[in-house]
Structure 1
């Protein structure tokens, strides 16, 4: 078995001809740019590219396969050199069982199956070309279709206040909307970690993964996970999510939840910390608030401990969050050490100090070890790193 760095939630901003896919995504987020950046600069081994259901994205992949820049692995997944691409689709469920919209991730082993799924989707969406669209089918109907096609089904960023399973989607349980046996894993989102999520007993049955939900190239791998598998393929990923034959999620690497945009409950007007029991903001008097992930999980709490075999969640700050580490300095590091994964996991302090100022090198190591001082985020604003 080997370890593979993986980020399974990367959006496509534009097609190869410049048409929008994820409207809020960067124009530079084309399929080709993503795979080159993820392999060459981030140092990832496996990525999930969401929005591959868009017909022009399917066409771009097909053209890359015609030139043999991209090939299909017999065990599932697309190969770009030593990078494996898992084609996926993010969709929005909002059926009669939901209290609010829920985003989900669907993954497939081949381009042919993704094309078949796209054709089916076109009869259930208003606009097949765009990302994260509302599907006019129930959650269970979507699950059934994904499984018919041999795909994987994972609820996305399950605690964020908007468009997520536990944010507003259900009252108490995922079974209100989904068949629990057709879920392959749980994506935690930027404002929660394993210890928080495991306070909900029904989630003990699933593997947790952390992903970037990248809307720009630089956001790729701001959160990621390590898969222990025989090789980076769709079939091996499926086994890792289920913990079969020694395959597993070895660890998750993500932001300390305090850095997430929705960790604490804040006033919807001035973003000051808000205590709902006081009924109004102590800072500005506003009565409206955005409930944070921590408070929502506290409402749902049914357990105190994680399962014994739960892999570690390592609080790690992406390089772009490091104070004083600008684009030029990051480029210098990449030119010398190769990839962000190498810088975050392998390069010792003394080597970093040869390329960047000692203070910056020390912050990178502290970020690697989860030892930075933080102030919590909320209401759509990231937390911050405080430097003493």
Structure 2
């Protein structure tokens, strides 16, 4: 019988245990031990994908934790902590070869320390600094795909609609086939400014699983987007089956921000952040000429088919992390987590009466609206997030 698990597969490392920088823009508190502890006990996740595991310092930290008896490798791939959290080792890489119109970030996941180590050594010869995250690889997209597959890994384009450093942002003009072999893609990650309904307008990606992940650069941002997967056991092999919808395993639901709250949802002026209808013209409000095209408009450009088909994907539920809901400050957040065990329990399982007792009717209404996907938002754009509206 399948069990439902919550998974966030895009989490960065800020520092190694020896205080060596990995993701420069990430919090120093994002260490391997802190991620594992926070994901399990604060957020209530069951599966985490840490996507800087190619860094030799991160690999050293993992080996240290295993030798100390705090983690173990599963025979079917992945690393399990003693309290039952599955770590999936990954790497975020930037591709910008001769076929790209702009840089593209991709996620590569591997089943074992051995295969992750082999990838790290291969990558070291093709990047400027193997210790850092999201490095540009001096190899083609197809070369990278082929090597990932030789190691039994997963290949997933990251945050595919973000205006910068993504597949459809500036990476390709029209089709992923300009850069990648479609047969060697396992899934696509939607990013914070799109959802399933928006992405489904692009015909060539309908055949892939849609993933929703946090791209966390700090501990509180873990699980701001995630998915619920159905698997029999916690290991890499089962996760691959769930992503591919094989052997009865599946993605049950995606949970993510309403695209309107994403910081690149609408086309705006980069100077005054006012909405701009035509990306080719100066801003009508301030005259600035740098316009950041929003995800919504980019998807309309790329919509290859006018045929109307029902979306044959798991439900996408517009949800907001507790810290972003009106009325929930640090003290109340701590109280909610302490009362119900973790954030997933608050968002998914606590009853209305239980929530009212802890947080009051007003905050309870926001939590239930987040659970049901009925919150109202003011749209974001140009690098600024939208906000939950009181209306």
TM-score above 0.5, yes or no: yes
Deviates more, 1:300-309 or 1:17-26: 300-309
Match of 1:236 in 2: 238
Whether 1:21 and 2:22 are equivalent positions in the alignment is yes
Q: Which residue of 2 aligns with 1:262?
A: 264
- The two structures have a TM-score, normalised by structure 1, of 0.98
2:331 counterpart (328, 331, 339): 328
Runs of 4+ in 1 over 3 A off after TM superposition: 303-309
Deviation at 1:280, TM superposition (A): 1.9
Question: 2:376 corresponds to which residue?
Answer: 373
Q: Partner of 1:145: helix, strand, or coil?
A: helix
Aligned equivalents of 1:354, 1:176: Cα separation in 2: 56
Question: Is 1:301 paired with 2:315?
Answer: no
Matches within 5 A, 1:182-197: 182-197=184-199
Which residue, 364, 367, 374 being the options, matches 1:364? Answer: 367
In structure 2, relative to structure 1, the CA distance for the partners of 1:306 and 1:261 (3 Å cut) is farther
Deviation for aligned residue 1:371: 1.4
Please, what TM-score do these two structures have when normalized by structure 2? 0.97
Q: 1:49 to 1:299 in 2, by over 3 A?
A: same
Residue in 2 aligned with 1:4?
5
Provide the aligned C-alpha RMSD in A.
1.1
Cα distance, 1:309 vs structure 2: 3.4
CA distance in 2, matches of 1:260, 1:138: 30
Partner of 1:288: 290
Deviations 1:160-215, CA, capped at 9 Å, x for gaps: 00000000000010010000000000000000000100100001110001000000
Give 1:272's aligned residue.
274
Distance 2:338 2:94 in 1: 40
Matched residues in 2 for 1:248 and 1:277: separation?
A: 40
SS at 2:117 equivalent:
helix
In structure 1, C-alpha distance between the alignment counterparts of 2:184 and 2:234, rounded to whole Å: 23
The structure-2 alpha-carbon separation of the partners of 1:41 and 1:122, relative to structure 1 and needing over 3 Å to count, comes to: same
- Looking at structure 2, the residues matched to 15 and 82 of structure 1 have their Cα atoms a distance apart, in angstroms, of 22
Unaligned runs of 5+ in 1: none
How far apart in 2 are the matches of 1:305 and 1:342?
A: 37
Q: CA deviation at 1:315?
A: 0.6
Give me the whole-angstrom Cα distance separating, in 1, the residues matched to 2:312 and 2:378.
Answer: 31
Among 209, 218, 221, the alignment partner of 1:219 is 221
User: What's the CA shift string for 1:17-43, capped at 9, x where partnerless?
Assistant: 111100000000001100111011111
| Unmatched segments (≥5 aa) in structure 2 | none
